[in-house]
């Protein structure tokens, strides 16, 4: 096609949930409640890990950072979706779309890396308890958190630059509620196969590799737990990992399935539904998962309320 006949796309239209016109107000109310619960739940975890003396341990230091990432992570997509549902104006300009995708992928990668760090923390606590204070000292913990925050920035920035360097000549409708890589590749012009491989490479690097490291940590944890002489000891050891393992299954399960489906099937809306789990549902339940079965968090919350 002659380059002069191509119309350059300057904005995208997020289809979102426009196929449910009679439920726009209901969806707005539901997602607003979910967003407020995410902020309040994760905000409470952050406050407790900062002020409660009993929670001044590496595990809760990582949990506080994880909750902060959850708030930032959902704030990249949910406010925009709420605005679209309220105003029914679903257009997003080129730069805003690129910015949203960049921050979303950076924060998602940070979240996956922090979960890996938390798994390593549990491994050291259970498998090498005598060396735990020495290995997980404050300096090491700070480095692990800092590395989780900044390590993905160069790669993700380059990835987003490559995606938005593709020619977009129409259509400009994204079958999603935020700017994500697969829907963008669906509307890009020309052959995007190379870019698809790059995106899947990023998925392997920031989702599959951390996931395999988490599995490796838990395999070693399970081996050690099975060697404990008493059933009570085995139960107590595993209970310290149960919350983290639940979050890992929910988050990684939905993310791996979403980014593993072929591009041809992504347009069916399956990806959009699956994305709700790792962008909204999991961040909403994480504070409950980490607090309901955690006596230290519950005790710290009661002390905070009493004051």
- pLDDT band of residue 290 (cuts 50, 70, 90) is confident
- Could you tell me the pTM of the whole model? 0.88
pLDDT at 5: 44
Spatial neighbors of 134 by CB under 8 A, at least 6 apart, are: none
pLDDT at 286: 85
pLDDT at 110: 94
Most confident range, picked from 130-144, 166-180, 271-285: 130-144
The architecture (CATH level 2) of 7-121+128-306 comes to: Up-down Bundle (1.20)
CA angle 142, 206, 110 (to 5 degrees): 35
pLDDT at 94: 87
Phi, psi of 92 (to 5 degrees): -135, 130
Q: Which residue has the higher pLDDT, 156 or 247?
A: 156
With pLDDT > 70 as the criterion, what percentage of the chain qualifies?
A: 91
Count each helix (H run) and each strand (E run) in the chain, helices first: 14, 3
DSSP codes joined into one string, 94-135? HHHHHHHHHHHHHHHHHHHHHHHHHHHHHHHHHHSGGGHHHH
Q: Mean per-residue pLDDT for 46-71?
A: 91
Q: Which residue has the higher pLDDT, 227 or 124?
A: 124
In the chain, domain spans? 7-121+128-306
* Mean pLDDT across the chain: 85
Q: Which residue has the higher pLDDT, 9 or 297?
A: 297
pLDDT at 72: 94
Cβ proximity of 246 and 40 under 8 Å: no
Rg (the chain; Cα; Å)? 21
- pLDDT band of residue 2 (cuts 50, 70, 90) is very low
Whether the predicted pLDDT of 266 surpasses 70: no
pLDDT at 75: 94
Nearest one of 301, 265, 303, 262 to 60, comparing CA atoms:
301
pLDDT at 260: 67
- pLDDT band of residue 124 (cuts 50, 70, 90) is very high
CA angle 28, 32, 36 (to 5 degrees): 175
Nearest one of 80, 262, 256 to 177, comparing CA atoms:
80
Spatial neighbors of 84 by CB under 8 A, at least 6 apart, are: 14, 16, 90, 177
Whether the predicted pLDDT of 304 surpasses 80: no
CA-based torsion, 41, 298, 135, 252: positive or negative: negative
pLDDT at 90: 84
Phi, psi of 8 (to 5 degrees): -80, 130
pLDDT at 216: 92
Nearest one of 19, 175, 84, 75 to 92, comparing CA atoms:
84
pLDDT digits (tens, 9 = 90+) for 208-227: 899 999 999 989 988 888 87
**Strands 173-174 and 11-14, bridge-based pairing:** parallel
């Amino acid at each position: 096609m002659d380059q002069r006949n191509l119309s350059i796309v300057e904005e995208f239209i997020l289809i979102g949930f426009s196929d449910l016109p009679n439920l726009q107000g209901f969806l707005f109310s539901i997602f607003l409640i979910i967003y407020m619960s995410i902020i309040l739940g994760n905000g409470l975890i952050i406050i407790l890990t900062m002020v409660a003396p009993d929670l001044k341990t590496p595990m809760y230091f990582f949990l506080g950072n994880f909750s902060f990432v959850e708030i930032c992570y959902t704030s990249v997509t949910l406010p925009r979706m709420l605005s679209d549902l309220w105003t029914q104006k679903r257009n997003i300009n080129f730069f805003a779309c690129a910015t949203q995708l960049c921050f979303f992928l950076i924060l998602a990668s940070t979240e996956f890396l922090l979960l890996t760090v938390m798994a390593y923390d549990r491994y050291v606590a259970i498998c090498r308890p005598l060396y735990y204070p020495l290995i997980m000292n404050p300096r090491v913990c700070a480095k692990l958190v800092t590395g989780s925050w900044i390590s993905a920035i160069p790669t993700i920035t380059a990835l987003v630059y490559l995606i938005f360097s593709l020619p977009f000549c129409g259509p400009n409708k994204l079958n999603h509620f935020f700017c994500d890589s697969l829907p963008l590749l669906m509307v890009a012009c020309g052959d995007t196969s190379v870019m698809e491989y790059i995106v899947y490479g990023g998925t392997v690097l920031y989702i599959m590799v951390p996931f395999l490291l988490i599995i490796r940590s838990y395999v070693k944890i399970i081996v050690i737990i099975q060697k404990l002489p008493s059933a009570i000891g085995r139960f107590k050891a595993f209970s310290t990992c149960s919350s983290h393992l639940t979050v890992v299954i929910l988050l990684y399960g939905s993310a791996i399935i979403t980014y593993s489906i072929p591009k041809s099937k992504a347009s069916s809306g399956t990806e959009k539904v699956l994305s709700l789990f790792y962008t909204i549902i999991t961040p909403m339940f994480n504070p409950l998962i980490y607090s309901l079965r955690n006596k230290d968090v519950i005790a710290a919350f009661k002390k905070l309320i009493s004051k």
